[in-house]
Structure 1
Amino acid sequence: MATVLVVEDDVLIRDLVAEELDEAGFTVVIAATAEHAMSILEAREDIHLVFTDIDMPGSMDGLKLAAAVRDRWPPVHIIITTGKVRPLEIPANALFIPKPYVGKTVVAAIRTFENMA
């Protein structure tokens, strides 16, 4: 099954979405910061999708992470989320899901990508 990297600094939200994705049959890897997510992406070749919040601590937010993923790992799918206003620009072929969201909505969105069923 496909591997999803969940990048979210809020432990409760991260755990809830990770559990929902796990129950849907995805392999889940978690990161609390964009920097940690980058180190995971550099170390692993099995990440199929990055699900990232925009607002996170550290020098890189979720939009910068998404842009880096698009540049360095073009085949990796991207879903961006935030509880704030939708960003005007997101990377090509990325999806946006506003917070609050339901885990089933995230699963359905992931399954719209090629090879993620």
Structure 2
Amino acid sequence: MEKDVHIRSAVLIVEDEPLIRMEAVDMIEEAGFRTFDVGSADSAISTMEQNEDIGILFTDIEMPGTMDGLELAAYFQKRWPKVAIIIASGAVEVKTLNLPEKVCFFPKPYPTDRITKALKSISNNRK
């Protein structure tokens, strides 16, 4: 009997706080996705350049380095337009953001069920 095997796109997690990043990795791996995790936008770009199977960017907004999560999302949309983007923040409300087009936003603490549903929906729409 053949199993229904669905290979999901890998998720690149960008979060500068190590404990929050570990929480995000656990949540996303439990949803059935492979993950890459980094602590800055610069590391995210480098990781993306080396891994063609990343299909979803999951990023925090406030990060140290050359760009924040919103700038990173805009950069990804220009350079890798097929990559889906999810932004999470505990410090910013979605109403005050100028989100790039087609970007999902979730507040922290992570609403695990809603994020898992969004990840699976994104993945299923890419079949």
**TM-score, normalised with respect to structure 1:** 0.92
Residue in 1 that maps onto 2:4: none
Residue in 2 that maps onto 1:95: 104
Task: Please report how far the alpha carbon of residue 43 of structure 1 lies from its aligned counterpart in structure 2 after TM superposition.
Answer: 1.5
RMSD, aligned CA? 1.4
Verify: 1:85 aligned to 2:93, yes or no. Answer: yes
Residue in 2 that maps onto 1:53: 60
Which structure would you say has the larger Rg? 2
> Could you list the runs of 5+ residues in structure 2 that have no partner in the other structure?
1-7
Task: Please report how far the alpha carbon of residue 105 of structure 1 lies from its aligned counterpart in structure 2 after TM superposition.
Answer: 2.3
Task: Please report how far the alpha carbon of residue 102 of structure 1 lies from its aligned counterpart in structure 2 after TM superposition.
Answer: 2.9
Verify: 1:115 aligned to 2:126, yes or no. Answer: yes
Same amino acid, percent of matched pairs: 42
Verify: 1:39 aligned to 2:46, yes or no. Answer: yes
Deviates more, 1:69-78 or 1:13-22: 13-22
Take 1:103 and 1:7, find their aligned partners in 2: how far apart are those partners?
17
Deviates more, 1:29-38 or 1:87-96: 87-96
Give SS of 1:92's match: coil
Residue in 1 that maps onto 2:72: 65
Give the aligned length.
116
Give SS of 2:98's match: coil
Task: Please report how far the alpha carbon of residue 21 of structure 1 lies from its aligned counterpart in structure 2 after TM superposition.
Answer: 1.1
Give SS of 2:12's match: strand
Q: Runs in 1 of length 4+ with deviation above 4 angstroms?
A: none
Task: Please report how far the alpha carbon of residue 112 of structure 1 lies from its aligned counterpart in structure 2 after TM superposition.
Answer: 2.3
> Could you list the runs of 5+ residues in structure 1 that have no partner in the other structure?
none
